[in-house]
Amino acid sequence: MLSVVFLTMITSFAAMIYFRGASKVKNNHATMRFIAIHLANEQFAEVESLAFRGALDNGNLDFLGEEDNRKNFGIFDPKKFDEGKISPVEFEVTTEVENYKTNLKKVSVKVEWIEGGKKYNVEFEKIVRVN
């Protein structure tokens, strides 16, 4: 009987480790962060282009890239995608432009998203030259 109790405890413990760990291993956070970084790069490209054309003003900017790119499924199963069983994560991109020196401006881009009820973000700064 003691061995049965002992085995039950071991199995329960293993199952507990698995079920606690599996959700962490399977979460898409690293992929979403990678996608967010490239979304920020997309925004920087648009902002730099504005600066190059002499049209960059101080203040806050909306996302200037392709609107569809703000939604991403991360790593997804194409079958579930076709069946409409998965929904994309939506990224919020906020941008702030301020004077830095003479013809230079400081651009701050923040990308936020909610995944599994938790809020994540990445934030970058870049100095751009205004023509």
Partner 1 sequence: MIKNFNERGFVMAEFAIALPLLILLLGSMGVVIFKIAQVAKTQAAEYTLEADAQEIIERISADARTASEVEIKKAVGDKEIYLVVFRKHTMTVPKYEEVGKYFPADLNERQRYTVTATENHGYYVYADHQDGNAKPESGNPISGGSFFDETIVDELTYDLDEDKKILHISLTLQSQKTKEKLVVNTSVFMPACKEMKGFEDE
Q: Are 41 and 49 in contact (CB under 8 A)?
A: no
CB 122 within 8 A of CB 115: no
Half-sphere exposure of 98 (CA within 13 A, CB side): 5
- Give the C-alpha separation, 15 to 9, whole Å: 10
Residues 101-130 that bind partner 1 (CB under 8 A): none
- The residues in 48-87 that bind partner 1, with binding defined as CB under 8 A, are 48-49, 52-53, 65-66, 69, 72-79, 81
Give 25 or 101: the residue with its C-beta nearer to partner 1.
25
85, burial (CB in 10 Å: exposed 0-12, middle 13-18, buried 19+): exposed
Which of 44, 63, 91, 113 is in the footprint of partner 1 by CB under 8 A? 44
Three-state secondary structure string covering 78-106: HHHHHCCCCCCEEEEEEEEEEEEECCEEE
Count of residues interacting with partner 1 (CB under 8 A): 40
- Give the per-residue contact string, 2-41, with partner 1 (x = CB under 8 A; - = no): -xx--xx-xx--xx--x---x--xx---xx--xx--xx-x
Chain contacts with partner 1 (rule: CB under 8 A): 1, 3-4, 7-8, 10-11, 14-15, 18, 22, 25-26, 30-31, 34-35, 38-39, 41-42, 44-46, 48-49, 52-53, 65-66, 69, 72-79, 81
